[in-house]
Structure 1
């Protein structure tokens, strides 16, 4: 698997497709997905963390996407996973580990000791994967709509 930095001129349709599917997987539908807002946010974040926004590629096929940043949380910097994504047919076959290893390497370059993400309580497959890679649930947020999870480098 190789990782290619997202270029919105080249990858616009693919990142929209993947992000829309992530909404369906996490929340049951993509009605809350706002394409223009997402593209504007993505454009700004790519400027800040170009190596944190990548597509995963295997055999000339884009199979996944990562969105990673560094942010302040309770007075210190942490890594933050905005998106771990694999195409449905690529899930559950060990490819998530490669995404996770990329994320750990990215966060390590910023010298943070922990990373967080949010997951839908109903996304059991994702939650199982996060537990498998050593993350722990630290509480619910947004009136129980998401669970915050934390991992350590």
Structure 2
């Protein structure tokens, strides 16, 4: 059984370990040194402390999502819900953990009155691209090796 809980700044070191483990093989898209990851996570918590959620199974943190309900998207021309990170430990992938985290973030964005979700994903991160497409995200544009994807949540029930 996996539960989704609000993360707190006390979780940063554990989230950093999940981040580093989760990005193995995709280092070109990630910070690779613990001190850089911790600085990045601190930035995410300052951006929107209420939008960071952690997946817990049997008392162990196994993944997290950093969602930001304060993000102004220049490309969309408005504040959108931004997914800055969605990381699940490799041994827990394919079990619905990522979907639970994503669903919680989208619920959070709806609670904030937002109608669009935006994220950027590495162009060779095929499993992430397929995951987001499966859950209704559409590719909007590309910048270098990043793909920008969005999903409208305007007319969805819930939240």
TM-score range, shorter chain: 0.7 to 0.9
Q: Distance in 2 between matches of 1:29 and 1:98?
A: 23
Q: TM-score, normalised by structure 1?
A: 0.84
Deviation at 1:73, TM superposition (A): 1.2
Query: Equivalent of 1:119, from 112, 117, 121?
Result: 121
Q: Distance in 1 between matches of 2:72 and 2:108?
A: 16
1:52-94 CA distance string (max 9 Å, x none): 1121112212111110103111331101001111111111222
Deviation at 1:49, TM superposition (A): 2.1
Residue 33 of structure 1 aligns to a residue whose secondary structure is coil
Q: 1:147 — aligned with what? A: 147
Unaligned runs of 5+ in 2: 154-159
Q: Distance in 2 between matches of 1:51 and 1:151?
A: 21
Deviation at 1:14, TM superposition (A): 1.4
Deviation at 1:148, TM superposition (A): 0.7
Q: TM-score, normalised by structure 2?
A: 0.82
Q: Give RMSD over aligned pairs.
A: 2.1
Q: Distance in 2 between matches of 1:126 and 1:73?
A: 21
Deviation at 1:97, TM superposition (A): 1.7
Q: 1:2 — aligned with what? A: 3
Deviation at 1:26, TM superposition (A): 3.1
Deviation at 1:29, TM superposition (A): 8.2
64 and 121 in structure 1: CA distance in 2 versus 1, 3 angstrom threshold:
same
Q: 2:15 — aligned with what? A: 15
Aligned residues: 149
